[in-house]
Homo-oligomer: A and B are copies of this chain.
Amino acid sequence: MHHGNRHGRSEQARQAVLQAVDGLLVERGFAGVTMEGIAARAGVAKQTVYRWWPSKVDVLMDAFIDDMEQHLTPPDHGDLGRDLRAHLADLAEFLTTSDSGAVFRALAGQAQHDPAVAARLRTDYLGQQRARDELPLRRATERGELPADIDLEFAVDQLVGPVYYRVLVTGGSVSRGFTDELVARFLAQH
């Protein structure tokens, strides 16, 4: 067992904390996640948690970012329709089904209450995510499938907006049919 060292933080403690927060969120929900509980479950002193993370949201954010590394790189089939359909389906599955998606929804929820969380979520997640969202469109413009002057921001909002809306607001299912239809309508505009 590791108990302190003179050179930098304990990676062991960091991992334990991040795992603990994931577990707590899944088992007890956002309200059930407390700094006290995280420390206890991680077998770590409360102060150790506070030393590296200012709040439980920051712990969740780190856990989320860690988990996101390997996610959601959209495929490249050389065909805009096919790429978009696959990407939106992936996105829907991520948001509704995966553990990381649950963490994201929790963070998005908290972002409504706390502008700092909102800001952090945008810099650390949305930036990369929108880059991934734009990728199929960008490749299509390069291939000439889309006009070069297309407004990528607007196009992405049109495509993913309804998906997030269903997930975060209506709670409706986000079926493959739904995402495919979104793509079809989008393609019909150009």
Contact = CB atoms under 8 A, between A and B. Distances in A.
Interface string A91-107: 00000000000000110
Interface residues of A, number: 38
B113 A109 contact: yes
A122 B161 contact: no
Number of identical protomers: 4
A130 to B, nearest CB: 8
Contact of A161 (B111, B166, B189): B166
A114 B181 contact: no
Given A108-B169, A110-B113, A185-B189, 17 more contacts: A31-B113, A108-B168, A109-B109, A109-B113, A122-B170, A122-B171, A126-B169, A126-B170, A130-B170, A153-B172, A157-B172, A158-B162, A161-B163, A161-B164, A161-B166, A164-B168, A189-B189
Interface of A: 29-31, 105-106, 108-114, 118, 122, 126, 130, 153-154, 157-158, 160-166, 168-172, 178, 181-182, 185, 188-189
